[in-house]
Structure 1
Amino acid sequence: MPAETLEDKESRSVVSGLDELGRTPASDTRFGRLGLRLWEGTWPKLLALVIIIGAWQGLVWSGWKPEFVLPPPLEVWRELTAYAATPDYWQAIGITMQRAVTGFALSVAVGTVLGIAVARFKPLRAAIGSAITGLQTMPSIIWFPLAILLFKISESTIMFVVVLGAVPSIANGIISGIDYVPPAWKRVGTVLGMQGFTLYRHVILPATLPSFVSGLKQGWAFAWRSLMAGELLVIVAGQGSIGALMQGAREFSDAPRVLTWIITVLVIGILVDALFRAADNRIRRSWGLDQDS
C-alpha cells in the first residue's frame, strides 16, 4: 500500500472534525438557540434601562429640580430595596393585584358575553355597537364622580370604573374577531352538521382567538389604568393599596417613596405584558405563524 501523505492526514482530520460537529446533541443546539433568543430579547431592554437611568441622573445633575423633589436613581434604589423588605410593601401589592384580578375577571365575563351577543344579533349591533366604541374612548377617570355618588367610598366604586374601562376593549376584540372569520370556515362547519352554539364553540370562537387575546391585552391596560386612578382618588379605610400608600407618600413629600411605587407599578405592567406576549406567541406557533418554531 502507498504511504499516507500529509495531505491525506489533513483531509482525514477535517472530515473527522466535521463528523464530530454533526454528532452535536440536538439538546445543545436547542439550548443554544434558546439562549440566543433570550439574549436578543433582553439586551434592548437593558439598553433602554441604561438610557433611562442615564437621562434621569443627568436631570439630577443639571439642577433642574432640587433633590428632595427629584432624587437620584441610587437613592430611589436604596429606598426600593429597603421598602421591599417590609410586609407593608407586599401587602399593598397583594391588595392592588387582588382588585386587578377581580375586576379583570368580571370584565372578561361581561365583555365576552356582550361581544358575542353584539356580533351575533344585528339589531343589537345597530343599537349599541357604536356605543361600545364610544365607551372605549372615554377616559376612565370621568366615571369616578358618578361611581362615588352610586357606591360612596367603597370597593364597589373602584370595581365599577375598572369594569367600565376594560369591557369595551374586550367586547370589541370579540366582535372584530368574529367579523373576520372567513365565510368558508363557517360553511365547512355547517356542512359538518354544526349549528348555533356548536358552530360558535368549535369554529367561530377558536378562529377569533388572536383578536380576542389582543382585546384582552388592551382590556387589561385599561383596567390597570382605571385601577391606579381609582386607588389614588378613592381611599378605602383599612385597605393600604399601592395607590393609597403612594398618595400618603405624596402628602408627606416623600419623593423616593413615590418613585418607588411608580417603578413597582411599571414592573408589574411589564410582567403582565410578558404573560400576554407569551400567550400570543403560543397562539402564533399553534397557527404555524412563528417562523422560528
Structure 2
Amino acid sequence: MSDRLRRFGAFAAKFAAKALAGLAVPVGLAAAWFFCARWNWIPEQILPSPDAVWQTLRETTADGSLQSATLVSLQRVLSGFAVGIVAGVGVGGALGASATLRGYIEPFFLAFNQIPHIAWMPVLMLLFGIGETLKIVLIAWAAFLPATLCTLQGVRDVPAGYRELGRVLMFDRRATFSTIILPCALPSIFTGLREGLANAWHALVAVELLASFEGLGYMMAYGRQLFQLELVMAAMAVIALIGLIFHTLLRWVELRLSRWHLEGAA
C-alpha cells in the first residue's frame, strides 16, 4: 500500500508541476489583459475587457446563436478533416512504400505545401461556387497536405533492418504492415493529423470570413464589421477551446495506440 501511495504521490506531483508549467503563460497573459482593461492602458475599442467578452459569451449562449454557429463550424471542419486525413494517410502511405511513385509525385506535394490555403480559394470558387462544397474541399485540402507528407515520412523512414527482419520471419504484407510499418510510422502519422487539424481550423475561419453567412468565422466577421471586438474575441475563445480539446483527444488516441502496439509486441 505504501508503494502505491508513493507512486501515486509522485505521479500527482509530476502532473501538478506539468499543469502549472502549462498554465503559466496563459495565466500571465490573462493577468496582463485584466490589468490593461482595468487601468485603461489600451482603449476598450481595441482590447475589450474580460468582463465584456464573458458577457458576450453568456448572451450568445442564452440566445442560441453561439451554439448554432459552433455546430455549423464543427460540421464543416469535421467533414473536411475526415476527408482530408483519410485521403492523406492513404496517399502518403502509398508514396512512402514506393520509391518510384515518390520520385514522381513528392516534389509536387512539397511545392503545393508552400502555397497558403487561402490562395486556393479563387480557383476553388470557380470550380465549386461559394456553397458548402467550397468550404469542405478547402478544409479537406488543408488537412490533406500535412497528413500526406507526414505519413510519407513515417513510412519511408522505417529502418531497413526492421523490414529485413520481417522478411526473415516470413511476414506477409499484412503482418509487415501491422507489426513493423504502422508502429514505426504512427508518431509521424499523428503529427500529420494534428497539423492537419490546425490547418483545417485555419481554412475554416478563412473561408467563413470570406464566403459564409453562418459559423464562427462569420460571427468574427460580423463582429468586426460592427466594431464589436468582444464578439470577435468570444468566437476566438470558442475556436481555441475546441481546437485544444481535439488536440488532446488526438494525443490520447496516439498514446493508447502506441501502448497497444507495445503490448502486442511484448
- The TM tier, using the shorter chain, reads 0.7 to 0.9
Verify the 8 A CA contact 1:136 1:165 in the aligned structure 2. Answer: no
Aligned residue in 2 for 1:201: 178
Partner residue, 1:70: 47
Q: Does 1:250 align with 2:224?
A: yes
Measured after TM superposition, the shift of residue 155 of structure 1 is 0.9
2:243 is aligned, of 269, 278, 281, to 269
- 1:95, distance to aligned residue in structure 2 (A): 1.3
The letter of the residue matching 1:253 is F
How do residues 278-293 of structure 1 correspond to structure 2 at under 5 angstroms? 278-282=252-256
- In structure 2, what is the Cα distance between the partners aligned to 1:40 and 1:272? 23
C-alpha distance 46-205 of structure 1, shift in aligned 2 (>3 A): closer
CA distance in 2, matches of 1:165, 1:272: 16
Contact between 2:96 and 2:154, CA under 8 Å: does it hold in 1? no
Deviating 4+ runs (over 6 angstroms): none
Mapped contact 2:183–2:258 kept (Cα < 8 A): no
Report matched runs for 1:1-293 at 5 Å: 23-24=1-2, 26=4, 28-60=5-37, 65-236=42-213, 240-282=214-256
Aligned counterpart, 1:291: none
Q: Is the CA contact (8 Å cut-off) linking 1:132 and 1:168 kept in structure 2?
A: yes
CA–CA distance in structure 2, aligned partners of residues 223 and 58 of structure 1: 34
Alpha-carbon deviation of 1:181? 1.0
Deviation at 1:213, TM superposition (A): 1.0
Q: Give the conservation status (yes or no) of the 8 Å contact 2:34–2:50.
A: yes
Q: CA deviation at 1:55?
A: 2.3
Distance in 2 between residues matched to 1:204 and 1:46, nearest whole Å: 37
Q: 1:208 aligns to what SS in structure 2?
A: helix
What stretches of structure 2 of length at least 5 have no aligned partner? none
- Give me the whole-angstrom Cα distance separating, in 2, the residues matched to 1:75 and 1:169: 37
**CA contact 1:68–1:255 (8 Å) conserved in 2:** yes
Deviates more, 1:198-207 or 1:265-274: 198-207
* Contact 2:186-2:258 at 8 Å conserved across structures: no
Offset at residue 252 of structure 1 (A) = 1.7
Superposed CA RMSD in Å reads: 2.3
Distance 2:187 2:67 in 1: 34
Q: Give the TM-score, by structure 1 length.
A: 0.80
* Structure 1 position 183, deviation (Å): 1.4
Query: Contact 1:210–1:283 at 8 Å: present in 2 too?
Result: no
How high is the TM-score relative to the length of structure 2?
Answer: 0.88
Q: Residues 159-191 of structure 1: CA distance to partner in whole angstroms, max 9, x if unpaired?
A: 111121111211111111112212121122112
